[in-house]
Amino acid sequence: MELNNRIAEPDNTAVRTALWRAMHVQVDAKPSILEDEVGLSLIAPKEDWRQRPDIHPEFTKRLQASMVARARFMEDLIIEQSQRGIDQYVILGAGLDTFAQRRPDIASRLQLFEIDQPDTQTWKQQRLIELGFGIPQELHFLSVDFETSSWWEQLLKAGFDIRKPAVVACTGVSLYLTRDAIISTLKQMSTLASGSTVAMTFYLLLEFIDEEDKLLQQISEKGAREAGTPFVSFFAPTEVLTLAREAGFKEAKTCSSKDLEQLYFKDRTDQLVPASGELFLLATT
């Protein structure tokens, strides 16, 4: 699909994350932590996609596990909250998220707002239509540049009800934002209706990462710079909690890679564990 006379293409980070989720289904031991090959169908890569250096199943195994755990954690959260009556779900930096396609039993009961860059959104909608998934009326696509545009204004225009609580997911985004943009985003999130939950990931400073993950982290940083999407913001765990409290949230806690390991990986037969570089903030209004 064309965008301003250009062919829209999805963000390469979103593509890589979707392919990692599919890799988990195809390569790792069963049961899968998350079964998601819809993104793979949307991308339709060349047959040798599993040999890409940034996808390779052995070299990137721990990062791949992190992406799978991240997605599963968010799905468990929105399913739990929907059972409590929450019916608004906002995904900031949605990329090639496929929750709406894989879990229509839950998604059909929600107003689901996917927010990301214009190219990714345009491309994804076109592919969903081409593959026959369609775009149900409860699924809303919003195009925003987080550094320069107001995702909040776009959300309100799309019919988001500020009087009702919501779940907001923001995973894999803060790494690319300035500290000021992160603070602004958290402050806006803290104004959500009482009873709302925000789940946002933050990347840790190198000193807080396990030794075995440091080299991969440095390689990832180099690749991101060369791709024109440099990593910008890293934090200590205590800093993340301080940011949440200063933003005005009632309660805030963190969930580490070790916590995710206990949730999803402890009984596995393949020694699959997530990388240690990422931290979840769980904050409530």
> Helices marked H in the chain — which ranges?
12-27, 38-43, 61-83, 99-102, 104-107, 118-130, 151-157, 179-189, 211-226, 237-247, 257-264
The per-residue pLDDT for 6 is: 59
Say which residue, 176 or 81, is predicted with more confidence: 81
User: Which of 11-15, 93-97, 274-278 has the least mean pLDDT?
Assistant: 11-15
Mean pLDDT for 165-189 is 94
**pLDDT per position as a tens digit, 203-215:** 999 999 998 888 8
Stretch 61-85: mean pLDDT = 96
Of 205 and 219, the one with more pLDDT: 205
Helices 61-83 and 257-264, packing angle to 10 deg: 70
pLDDT at 2 over 60: no
> Which residue type sits at 81?
Q
Q: Give the Cβ contact number of residue 162 at 10 Å.
A: 12
- Residue burial 58-90, b: 16+ Cβ < 10 Å; e: rest: eebbbbbbbbbbbbbbbbebbeebbeeebbbbb
Question: Residue 31: is the preceding peptide bond cis (ω within 30°)?
Answer: yes
- Model confidence at 5, pLDDT cuts 50, 70, 90, reads low
**Cβ pair 278, 202 in contact under 8 A:** yes
**Which pTM was predicted?**
0.93
pLDDT tens digits for 231-259?
Answer: 889 999 999 999 999 999 999 999 999 99
Cα distances from 120 to residues 10, 52, 136, 222, in angstroms, run 4, 21, 18, 23
Average the pLDDT over 189-208 and give the result.
96
Per-residue pLDDT averaged across 218-222, rounded? 78
- Could you give the angle at the alpha carbon of 273 between the alpha carbons of 256 and 24, nearest 5°? 115
Helices (H) and strands (E) in the chain, counts: 11, 9
CATH code for the domain of 237: 3.40.50.150
Residue 7: band (very low, low, confident or very high) from pLDDT cuts 50, 70, 90: confident
In DSSP terms, which residues pair with 245 in a beta bridge?
none
pLDDT at 3: 47
- The pLDDT of 160-165, averaged and rounded, is 98
Alpha-carbon dihedral 265, 34, 139, 40, rounded to 10 degrees: 130
Q: What are phi and psi of 229, to 5 degrees?
A: -125, 65
Give the residue with greater pLDDT, 169 vs 52: 169
| C-alpha neighbours within 13 Å on the C-beta side of residue 281 | 33
* Structural domain range at position 83: 2-284
In the chain, the number of structural domains is: 1
pLDDT of residue 140: 97
- Residue-wise pLDDT for 123-139, tens only, equals 999 999 999 999 999 99
